[in-house]
Structure 1
């Protein structure tokens, strides 16, 4: 019985991931410090959210539907993502020590960070940055 429940839960998570992951998969991925500098810090317009994540991180995966929802609710905000395992230099230079970490940037200036899977704090950070 337990194995069936576990399998059913796994299949449900795959379906949910496809359903919610579609807009998340369209988020531009930053892969190096130079891209971060050019697209985030040198770009002096608007609010940007950078999602520092790891593919193996459960809380990171749990945030995907929340990020997709925030993308729809705040279309003026630009979202980016950084796989910390593929862009270690970028994660190191931004002092990322836990995943997920969300960095909020307004007009090229880092305004705040939200550490951990906290959808409410992330949305509040977006509201305060606008």
Structure 2
């Protein structure tokens, strides 16, 4: 439901993708160095990372992007990253991306969950689970 099969051709119209995919507290990852820097920062701060592997030509990616930005603004305790699969092709391949968008959920640099497709209710459900697991309430 709502995903694009990966295609690795560079479309000429990349001019507006920073606006669409990075806003609020979403960090656009365009280099391996920036990925490693953000993961190190999240590990140091004890933050969970949600990494959205997207593409500028992908309709469902564009549809879910504003919601992803909205989540990033509501939940500053979580680090939100967006990786452009066309800009970081080899890196995306190493994550075995078969379709976009694909969301990876990481803690201490390790994947603990994954969501393929622009499935807003499922993304919401996973966010609630993360927030519940983070809450400091102990019985």
TM-score by length of 2: 0.68
Change (3 A) 1:22 1:105: closer
Greater helix share, 1 or 2? Answer: 1
Q: CA RMSD, aligned part only? A: 2.6
Q: Please give the secondary structure, in 1, of the residue aligned with 2:125.
A: helix
Q: CA deviation at 1:58?
A: 0.3
Cα distance in 2 between the residues matched to 1:25 and 1:86 = 21
CA spacing shift, 1:26–1:75, aligned 2, 3 Å = closer
Residue aligning to 1:118: 119
Gaps of 5+ in 2: 1-18, 135-139
Deviation per residue, 1:42-101 (Å, 9 max, x gap): 842211111111000000000022112211222211111110001001101111110011
Query: How many equivalent residue pairs?
Result: 112
Alignment of 1:22-101 (within 5 A): 24=23, 27-40=26-39, 43-44=42-43, 45-101=46-102
Unaligned runs of 5+ in 1: 1-19
TM-score (norm 1): 0.72
Structure with greater Cα Rg? 1
Higher fraction of strand: 2
